[in-house]
Amino acid sequence: MGASSSSLSLSLTLPNHHHSSTLFHPKPTSNFITNHKSLPLNSPPKSSIHAIKHNPMSNPHTIDSELLQKLVLDALVWTSLHGLVVGDRNLERSGSVPGVGMVHAPIALLPNSFPEAQWNQACELAPIFNELVDRVSLDGKFLQDTLSRTKKVDAFTSRLLDIHSRMLQIGKKEDIRLGLHRSDYMLDEKTNLLLQIELNTISCSFSGLSCLVSDLHRSLLSHYKKPLGLDSQKVPINTSASKFADVLAKAWTEYNDLSAVVLVVVQPGERNMYDQHWLTATLKERHNVTSIRKTLAEINAQGKILSDGTLQVDSESIAVIYFRAGYAPIDYPSESEWKARILMEESSAIKCPSISYHLTGTKKVQQELAKPNVLERFLENKEHIAKLRECFAGLWSLDDEDAVKNAIQQPEAHVMKPQREGGGNNIYGEDVKETLLRLQKEGSEEEAAYILMQRIFPAVFPTVLVRDGICYKEHAVSELGIFSAYLRNKETVISNEQCGYLMRTKVSSSNEGGVAAGFAVLDSLYLT
């Protein structure tokens, strides 16, 4: 398991904490841009030839330009008519007022090839990871012990641990436990292994939009069946929005107060608002459950706990708290936001996630679980344990001397990941060696702020991306996220299921003008 941040990591692109950053900034906590540095500019990477081999679409760069233009226009029209949209970051009101300043979400024009075996493997892992999160979250001591060194060097994790301790002290019971997770994977090109990048237990983004991308791709493949020669049925059905909405509704039902609503905790100026609106609109349409949207600051100003434990915000009783904010230090600019977080945690509302689910998603816990015999503390089923372990990449603490030695010798085979959310970028290549040597010399506590991870080399493949109405032929890498939901009331597990997927594809080369450098798009997959 990995970092908790799964939504938009805005703080990295804009250190002044402005919120109008790009939607698809490379996640600081993932392996996502692994071989970016190693690629020569303006030439396709060597591995693209390899990638084409297993791509049944052959090379989409060779699509006839007239056909390409038709495909792009149809895709753009489709996005506009079907709400596959985001707020345009160039327009001021697009993050605060729905319906104004909309632009289509950045997309891959055609789905990305993916082997069926690894797809099935990823789906099968979903309920097992759900169960693991739930079990780990119940072991308060394990969480506190595992994160004790991180606590000293990371103020943010420290504040989360304080809230967690307080809940342990007052013996807070969470009978109804709701997790809406997303486990992110990459396919290592050499070994063809599906390796986990991280498990997100808070604020998983794109469940609202990713299902639309799959629909779009199925529609294009079906309308252009002849010239493309592809089978739309090989794009797996993706019902991420309705599945998440269904489980939110089930949780609301368990809370058992017909007048209560779902509280969506949002960032101010959220340009990915339509992704969230799809969930709440589906919740209303399918289940007649009402939701309200509030920032942490608003919750602090308008929220209170009634004597029976009920959370009330703006005079509405809250059944379920669904976090789409609160996962990164930037979300807590003052004590008001922390007060709001504590208020929610102390209430009887169902938290998605609770503080213990949130902490279970940290990279440090992911690394601890990868140690020998740790999974066995939480799960009995040996087959499940083996399946989980199969997808673990190498993960080490910096107090593991052998691992550090190894990484200094082979820096290109490792990534250093900062534990702190929303902090600096991952460290790659020679920088790994230099940083490790500096930390050894200084002998400081700072090493606790990092974990070491095996560097994953995904296939680089030619692809066609569409952003801001413009079509780009690029070489890219992909990351597969599997959404999953878990809902339990006391001993009864109500839901434990895979809930669709998110494919994100990111440019791995810079184009001549540097225009497209580094941007990422929403994608879907084509089973091979």
| CA atoms of 300 and 459, how far apart (whole Å) | 46
Among 15, 16, 42, 99, binds a second copy (CB under 8 A): 99
Min dist CB 95 to a second copy, Å, is 12
101 scored as a contact of a second copy (CB under 8 A):
yes
433 scored as a contact of a second copy (CB under 8 A):
no
First to last CA, the chain: 27
Q: What angle do CA 493, 244, 162 make, to 5 degrees?
A: 70
- Going by C-alpha positions, the residue among 109, 100, 102, 72 that lies closest to residue 85 is 102
| Binding piece for a second copy, criterion CB under 8 A, among 35-43, 180-188, 277-285, 368-376 | 277-285
469 scored as a contact of a second copy (CB under 8 A):
yes
Asked if 47 and 460 count as a contact pair (C-beta separation under 8 A), the reply is yes
- Going by C-alpha positions, the residue among 155, 2, 31, 3 that lies closest to residue 432 is 31
| CA atoms of 332 and 327, how far apart (whole Å) | 9
Asked if 299 and 313 count as a contact pair (C-beta separation under 8 A), the reply is yes
String of contacts with a second copy for each residue 221-250, x by CB under 8 A: --x---------------------------
Among 76, 123, 193, 342, binds a second copy (CB under 8 A): 76
Cis amide prior to 127 (ω within 30 degrees):
no
Min dist CB 87 to a second copy, Å, is 10
Active site residue 271: no
252 scored as a contact of a second copy (CB under 8 A):
no
Among 9, 11, 79, 242, binds a second copy (CB under 8 A): 79
Active site residue 421: yes
Strands 102-104 and 85-87: antiparallel
- Going by C-alpha positions, the residue among 22, 51, 359, 350 that lies closest to residue 187 is 51
Active site residue 93: no
407 scored as a contact of a second copy (CB under 8 A):
no
Among 73, 117, 258, 515, binds a second copy (CB under 8 A): 73
Determine how many CB atoms are found less than 10 A away from the CB of residue 315. Answer: 7
Q: For residues 115 and 268, which CB has a smaller minimum distance to a second copy in the complex?
A: 268
258 scored as a contact of a second copy (CB under 8 A):
no
Asked if 221 and 228 count as a contact pair (C-beta separation under 8 A), the reply is yes
77 scored as a contact of a second copy (CB under 8 A):
yes
| CA atoms of 2 and 417, how far apart (whole Å) | 10
| CA atoms of 311 and 344, how far apart (whole Å) | 7
| Binding piece for a second copy, criterion CB under 8 A, among 90-98, 183-191, 193-201, 378-386 | 90-98
284 scored as a contact of a second copy (CB under 8 A):
yes
Active-site residue identified among 218, 363, 420, 467: 363
Active-site residue identified among 421, 447, 474, 479: 421
Active-site residue identified among 182, 218, 433, 488: 182
Q: What angle do CA 451, 359, 434 make, to 5 degrees?
A: 15
Active-site residue identified among 205, 242, 317, 356: 205
Q: What angle do CA 500, 136, 318 make, to 5 degrees?
A: 65
Min dist CB 216 to a second copy, Å, is 11
Catalytic residues: 182, 198, 200, 205, 363, 417, 421-422, 504
Tell me which residues touch a second copy (CB under 8 A).
73, 76-83, 85, 88, 93, 97-104, 219, 223, 274, 277-278, 281, 284-285, 288, 468-469
